[in-house]
């Protein structure tokens, strides 16, 4: 398997929607216009490709100096546990190494927590902080 990570400057939603569908993220697939706008307004988007097939993606928002927020990281189920998610996240962390805060929200599952901790992230509780969200 030869996976290449590259920045996406021209996003084709016809290639993006299948990733979200495969992940079961129906809030996005049921609102394709919102998803398209969110990609248009992202700070950066990186894709993982096997040949010309998009098998994973990571999307970054923020100012790129004091904070980045890793909004989405998705790898097709059939490609998971092969280091692709780690490669995508490492690419972002390398590109934005000098950014003060790198933030993300994720599901509270042991394997997910362990994945992010293995890449240097800590929970906000570890920093004696609390996070807030307003969700609609």
Polymer length in residues for the chain: 136
**Is the pTM here over 0.85, yes or no?**
yes
Q: Which pLDDT value is given to residue 11?
A: 85
- Look at residue 115 and tell me whether its pLDDT is greater than 80: yes
Q: Which pLDDT value is given to residue 132?
A: 87
Domains, the chain, ordered by start: 3-127 (3.40.630.30)
Give the strand pairing for 53-62 and 44-50.
Answer: antiparallel
Q: What's the pLDDT tens digit per position in 27-60? A: 888 888 999 999 999 999 999 999 989 999 999 9
Return mean pLDDT, the chain.
92
**Structure confidence at residue 131 as a pLDDT band (50, 70, 90):** confident
- Look at residue 102 and tell me whether its pLDDT is greater than 80: yes
- Look at residue 136 and tell me whether its pLDDT is greater than 80: no
- Look at residue 92 and tell me whether its pLDDT is greater than 90: yes
- Non-local CB neighbours of 46 within 8 Å, separated by 6+ positions: 5, 6, 7, 8, 57, 58, 60, 88, 91, 92
DSSP-derived secondary structure for 56-82: EEEEEEE-SSSEEEEEEEEE-GGGTTS
């Amino acid at each position: 398997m030869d996976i290449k990570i590259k920045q996406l400057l021209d996003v084709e939603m016809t290639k993006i929607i299948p990733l979200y569908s495969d992940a079961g993220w129906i809030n996005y697939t049921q609102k394709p216009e919102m998803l398209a706008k969110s990609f248009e307004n992202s700070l950066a988007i990186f894709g993982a490709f096997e040949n010309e097939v998009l098998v994973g993606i990571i999307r970054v928002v923020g100012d790129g100096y004091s904070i980045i927020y890793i909004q989405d990281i998705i790898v097709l189920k059939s490609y998971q546990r092969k280091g692709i998610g780690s490669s995508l996240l490492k690419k972002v962390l390398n590109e934005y190494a000098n950014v003060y805060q790198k933030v993300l929200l994720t599901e509270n599952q042991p394997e997910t927590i362990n994945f992010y901790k293995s890449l240097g992230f800590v929970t906000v509780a570890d920093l004696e902080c609390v996070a807030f969200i307003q969700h609609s």
